[in-house]
Each structure stands twice: as structure tokens, then as C-alpha cells.
């Protein structure tokens, strides 16, 4: 479980494609003594398990994760190449501050940035998502985009807008995002269950 509050921006430094998936090596500023083998880390909102770790020559920690074919198919991770910047979040621990909203790390689909407009020092991002996800997105509701917990400002059909403040732009990959970029989308789990209750007709 995560909160959508990014704790580090990492870098993909190695990729090994395999018959049934891939193995990625990600560098970060995390302290290796605090990251256990088997730990869960969200990578652009996709929960992955640490299978190995170590230190690079430049002093940064690296950790390896393994991805299934399904993960590659249903997220943006299939297109990642070395040099890719990655939003990272460590798993929520009991007693941690919940600064965003509950995020499972299970990506529901891939959306796209339609446009980015200045709004003072902030930026208004407009996204489009598949029709099957659009019904879960509501004004003032929460959504996780590339692992970042954001509040929806406005919705129009399959498109919606969020306002991203300077701090979030500085500490996530959204500061370098461009129109046309693909994003991992996880809908708010509360919205998912409300929709399920509304459509449930009994067994």
C-alpha cells in the first residue's frame, strides 16, 4: 500500500528483456541499509518487488526488480530504456503520515497528457484516459498518475485536468513531462467500490 507521495526520483540504469518479462535495474538515493530484499517499491505507480540491491561506482544505490509480461503490457514500463527517470515511493508503514490517498500500486491502465498550460507558478495538465476508466474520475476526487496522488479539477468526457504545484513539479518527473507522454493511471479505490455497488444486481 502507498500514498502517492513520491519519496525519490530514480533512474533506470539497466534493462534485461527475458522470455516471460524483463528485469530492470534502478538507481536512487535510497539508503541500501533501509531497503530489504523483498521490499515493495512503487515505480511510476507500479508496485514491484526488490530482488537484489547494491551500490554503483557513483555511490548511488541500485535495486533490481522483475516484471511479468502482463505488467509490461498494461503499463508504460514496456517502453522504458536506460536513462528513464522514475517516480519512486516506498511502501506505507503503520504509523506513517498519509499525505495523499490510499494507492495500491496496481495500475488500471495507461492515459496520455493532452496539454500542459501555465497557471501562475503551477501548471494545469489535461489528460485523456480510456473510456473504461473515465467513469471512475470525478471533480475533486483523487487519482494516481505515474504514482503521484493528484486531485481532479475538472472532467469532460474521457478528459480531465489537474493542477500541479511547483513543489510537485520539482520532486517528481512531471516537471519534465510533455504533451503526448503516456502515464500510468490508478483510479481511486473508493470510486471503484462505489461504482461496483451502483451496478451490482445481485448473484
Computed over every residue of the chain, the mean pLDDT equals 93
Residues ≥6 apart with Cβ < 8 Å to 29: 8, 60, 61
pLDDT tens-digit series, residues 128-145: 999 999 999 999 999 999
Regarding whether 42 and 76 lie in a shared domain, the answer is yes
Taking the C-alpha atoms of residue 106 and residue 16, their distance in angstroms, rounded to an integer, is: 22
- 81 within domain boundaries: yes
pLDDT of 98 higher than 90: no
pLDDT of 101 higher than 80: no
Regarding whether 125 and 80 lie in a shared domain, the answer is no
Q: What is the DSSP letter of 92?
A: P
Torsion sign over Cα 34, 36, 40, 41: positive
Question: Residue 45 belongs to what domain range?
Answer: 8-90
Taking the C-alpha atoms of residue 83 and residue 81, their distance in angstroms, rounded to an integer, is: 6
Regarding whether 159 and 83 lie in a shared domain, the answer is no
- CATH label of the domain that carries residue 159: 2.40.30.20
| Element containing residue 191 per DSSP (H, E) | helix 189-199
Last residue in a domain, options 90, 123, 148: 90
- 3 within domain boundaries: no
Residue, of 87 and 101, whose pLDDT is higher: 87
- 98 within domain boundaries: no
Last residue in a domain, options 30, 61, 90: 90
Regarding whether 116 and 86 lie in a shared domain, the answer is no
Cα dihedral value 137, 138, 142, 146, nearest 10: 30
Taking the C-alpha atoms of residue 30 and residue 49, their distance in angstroms, rounded to an integer, is: 15
Regarding whether 115 and 70 lie in a shared domain, the answer is no
- 101 within domain boundaries: no
Lowest mean pLDDT across 44-53, 98-107, 153-162: 98-107
Q: Which pTM does this prediction carry?
A: 0.92
Last residue in a domain, options 31, 56, 90: 90
- 97 within domain boundaries: no
Q: How confident is the model at residue 201 (pLDDT cuts 50, 70, 90)?
A: confident
- 96 within domain boundaries: no
What local confidence, expressed as pLDDT, does residue 96 receive?
Answer: 65
What local confidence, expressed as pLDDT, does residue 196 receive?
Answer: 67
pLDDT tens-digit series, residues 13-68: 999 999 889 999 999 999 999 999 999 999 999 999 999 999 999 999 999 999 99
The number of folded domains in the chain is: 2
Amino acid at each position: 500500500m502507498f500514498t502517492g507521495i513520491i519519496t525519490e526520483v530514480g533512474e533506470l540504469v539497466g534493462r534485461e528483456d527475458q522470455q516471460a518479462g524483463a528485469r530492470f535495474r534502478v538507481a536512487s538515493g535510497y539508503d541500501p541499509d533501509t531497503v530489504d530484499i523483498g521490499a515493495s517499491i512503487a515505480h511510476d505507480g507500479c508496485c514491484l518487488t526488490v530482488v537484489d540491491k547494491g551500490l554503483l561506482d557513483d555511490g548511488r544505490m541500485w535495486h533490481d526488480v522483475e516484471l511479468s509480461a502482463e505488467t509490461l503490457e498494461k503499463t508504460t514500463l514496456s517502453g522504458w530504456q536506460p536513462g528513464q527517470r522514475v517516480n519512486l515511493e516506498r511502501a506505507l508503514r503503520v504509523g506513517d503520515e498519509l499525505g495523499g490517498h490510499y494507492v495500491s500500486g496496481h495500475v488500471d491502465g495507461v492515459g496520455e497528457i493532452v496539454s500542459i498550460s501555465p497557471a501562475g507558478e503551477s501548471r494545469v495538465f489535461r489528460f485523456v484516459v480510456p473510456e473504461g476508466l473515465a467513469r471512475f474520475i470525478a471533480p475533486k476526487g483523487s487519482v494516481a498518475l505515474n504514482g503521484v496522488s493528484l486531485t481532479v479539477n475538472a472532467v469532460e468526457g474521457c478528459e480531465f485536468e489537474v493542477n500541479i504545484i511547483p513543489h510537485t513539479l520539482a520532486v517528481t518527473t512531471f516537471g519534465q513531462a510533455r504533451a503526448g507522454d503516456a502515464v500510468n493511471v490508478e483510479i481511486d479505490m473508493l470510486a471503484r467500490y462505489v461504482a461496483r455497488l451502483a451496478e451490482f444486481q445481485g448473484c
